[in-house]
Amino acid sequence: MSRPVKLRCVAQLPSAGLFRPVGIPASALQHVRLSVEELESIRLKDLGQLDQEECARLMCISRPTFHRILEEARRKLADALINAKAVQIEGGSFGLPQSRFRCNNDGHEWDVPFESLANGVSLVCPACSSANIQPMFPPSFGFGWRRGGRFRGGRRW
């Protein structure tokens, strides 16, 4: 039995779902399906010019997995450009990031979806309606285990 596919972190959804060449009738047009995480890999690596290690960290996957996704995305885009096919962006196994917030009045914690933050919704505590809130950083921030071990540089607490 194979392992389930982990969700890949995607920072934004595509603004358009279909790109097609001009001058070819829709009835004769073939499609190439590009998943949302494949588009995200192209955005990070080629448009953002980040290295693969950083791209993989942003998508919450390993570097070899990122490389496989990127190679498949580039292969599909090359096929679409060379053979005049439409590119349809849909599907995949991805998740949009959520930000966790904490109320400074009552200590209540909750998640706010990415879409709400992008729309500029004013944030208040859902329990007490206070605006005295602060974002909580993800577990990867702060002190703790790092690549290369803990206590590098001779500091021990």
State how far the Cα of 53 lies from the Cα of 157, in Å rounded to an integer.
29
Report all structural domains of the chain as residue ranges with CATH numbers, in order of start. Answer: 8-95 (1.10.10), 98-136 (no CATH)
Q: What is the DSSP string of 40-57?
A: HHHIIIIIS---HHHHHH
pLDDT tens digits for range 46-86 = 999 999 999 999 998 999 999 999 999 999 999 999 999 99
DSSP state of 131: S
Q: What is the pLDDT of residue 137?
A: 59
Closest CA to 87 of 78, 96, 95, 97: 78
3-state secondary structure of 7: coil
CA distances for 58 relative to 20, 105, 120, 134, angstroms: 29, 32, 23, 22
111-119: average pLDDT: 69
pTM (global) more than 0.85: no
Mean pLDDT of the chain: 82
Residue 140 has pLDDT above 50, yes or no: no
Residue 157 pLDDT grade (very low, low, confident, very high; cuts 50, 70, 90): very low
